[in-house]
Amino acid sequence: MANALQQLKAYQKKVIRLSEVSAILDWDQLTYMPAGAAADRADQQTTLQMLIHNLAVDPEVGRLLEASAAEVVGQPEGSEDAALVRVSKRDYDRSTRVPSNLIEELVSHSSMAYEVWVKARKQSDFSIFAPVLRKTVELNKRLADCLGYEEHPYDALLSQHEPGMTASKLRQLFAELRPALVKLVAEIAAAPQVDSSFLRGDFAVDRQQELTLEAVGILGYDTNRGRQDKTVHPFCTSFSRNDVRITTRYDEHMLGGALYASLHEAGHAMYEQGLPGHLELTALCRAASSGVHESQSRLWENMVGRSRQFCAYFLPRLVHYFPETFNNISAEELYRAVNRVEPSLIRVEADEVTYNLHIILRFELEIAMLEGRLDIDDLPDAWDAAMHEMLGVIPPSDTEGCLQDVHWSSGFGGFPAYTLGNLIAAQLWNSIRHDLPNLGSAIESGNCAPLLTWLRDHVHSLGARLDPMDLVQHSTGEVLDSKYLISYLHEKYRDIYGL
């Protein structure tokens, strides 16, 4: 008879395969499904999700976990089997700690809240959304109590995205980042603006499709184990490490959007394609966290895709597809244009420098709402004041202010992953530049293979064996430090803006 760990693996395989099927249904819904199928698809998903949940919380899993833990006693903490038991136990505890009536309440609240958010946003009236947000806060407090925490309820909510991360660690990282960014943004605002006007014009969608596919191929995205399709909101999804798909959206009057969305999603996808094959269909064959996932997309999108070297290599391809626009543009002009910094109201449109301030603002407001220091009715004023303080802009309406993101329909704790991704990417980039001194010239000749190999070795192939902060320390030799992102941004943008 198989030992407990083998039985646990067989059990996990079933749950993971069902989750992959659910991901296919989801991808189909967001790409090709006819609108009339919406109700049936929702029912198919609910049926499948219930099956998955019931399997995940089955007491048999608890028994197998206990027996597996006994089997790995004496193995070093970092061994694969010990890590598998540790991560699986955490998953199981998380799933079983939240009573099913609270899960049901959260699910039904978030679908109702989404509808109310759409309406409030359309009318640009926060007062319509306020009662729903108050309920979101209350439900998230209850969720945090069920999940458990040592210092702050926010830690419990964060743990769903970033195992081991806490509000106090984030506060420390952001306390260093915030003043440095505010100062840099102000310096840039006072300098002459770079010209990016040529990135607007007429760009046929079929050519953009070919161009973006070529671009992600240069990075190393394997289209034999993936494909790119068109959607409203770009995303990456994985049905197994051998079928990792990306989507993008095209604007026929603007080129940058689709190109950089494709590079971003390809960064996510290459992580999934590089997860450890020998651990496939176990709890370790997945990303370490949302923040680490985001570090991969940001690294390829910004550190590579917005580098001088990549712009120099890629310009002839742009000339090939859109000669009338790019014939008279230099690589340096392209480099400056794709790195234009401008304080703006909308997070998803923000550049590399201002983006993190949008996240810090949301983090601070989430904490204040959770602690009861900020009354929900006062959120729009608090939002506007923080925007003015950090970015020097004030939203003219709630739609362009506190109603812009869908996230608060369902829960708190998701936003920090975006900035953690930038922080981790910058720290990895620092180590990469040290380990691969010739990377710049490789990228300038279109060779991204050394970089992908480094990331495979230091990040992708580890899967979820290490918690995110341990992974950073393991890959870079240091704990996560905001100084790497600050100096990366200083170096790059002081050069571009002549500061």
Residues marked active site are found at: 265
Residues near Zn ion (CB under 5 A), total: 1
Tokens of 494: 């002081």
419 lies in the binding site for Zn ion (CB under 5 A): no
Judged by DSSP in three states, 13 sits in: helix
- In angstroms, give the least distance from the CB of 245 to Zn ion: 14
Nearest to Zn ion of 110, 296 (CB atom): 296
Amino acid identity for residue 161 in this structure: H
Pick out residues in 256-315 that bind Zn ion (CB under 5 A): 297
Nearest to Zn ion of 61, 452 (CB atom): 452
- In angstroms, give the least distance from the CB of 430 to Zn ion: 21
User: Exposed (0-12), middle (13-18) or buried (19+): which is 38, by Cβ within 10 Å?
Assistant: exposed
Pick out residues in 421-480 that bind Zn ion (CB under 5 A): none
Q: How many CA atoms lie within 13 A of 201 on its CB side?
A: 13
Nearest to Zn ion of 49, 231 (CB atom): 231
Cα 317 to Cα 456: distance, rounded to the nearest angstrom: 27
- In angstroms, give the least distance from the CB of 150 to Zn ion: 29
Cα 75 to Cα 167: distance, rounded to the nearest angstrom: 32
- In angstroms, give the least distance from the CB of 264 to Zn ion: 6
Nearest to Zn ion of 129, 300 (CB atom): 300
Pick out residues in 109-168 that bind Zn ion (CB under 5 A): none
Cα 499 to Cα 494: distance, rounded to the nearest angstrom: 5
- In angstroms, give the least distance from the CB of 138 to Zn ion: 29
462-494 exposure pattern, b = at least 16 Cβ within 10 A, e = fewer: bbbbbbbbbbbeebbeeebbbebbbebbbebbe
Residue nearest to Zn ion (CB): 297
Distance in Å from the first CA to the final CA of the chain: 69
Tokens of 315: 């310009």
Taking residues 214 to 253 in sequence order and writing x for each that binds Zn ion by CB under 5 A, - otherwise, the string is: ----------------------------------------
Judged by DSSP in three states, 423 sits in: helix
Nearest to Zn ion of 220, 291 (CB atom): 291
Nearest to Zn ion of 212, 297 (CB atom): 297
- In angstroms, give the least distance from the CB of 242 to Zn ion: 21
Tokens of 153: 């309820």
Using alpha carbons, select from 348, 391, 23 the residue that is nearest to residue 185: 391
Query: How many CB atoms lie under 10 A from the CB of residue 161?
Result: 20
Which residues sit at the interface with Zn ion, rule CB under 5 A?
297
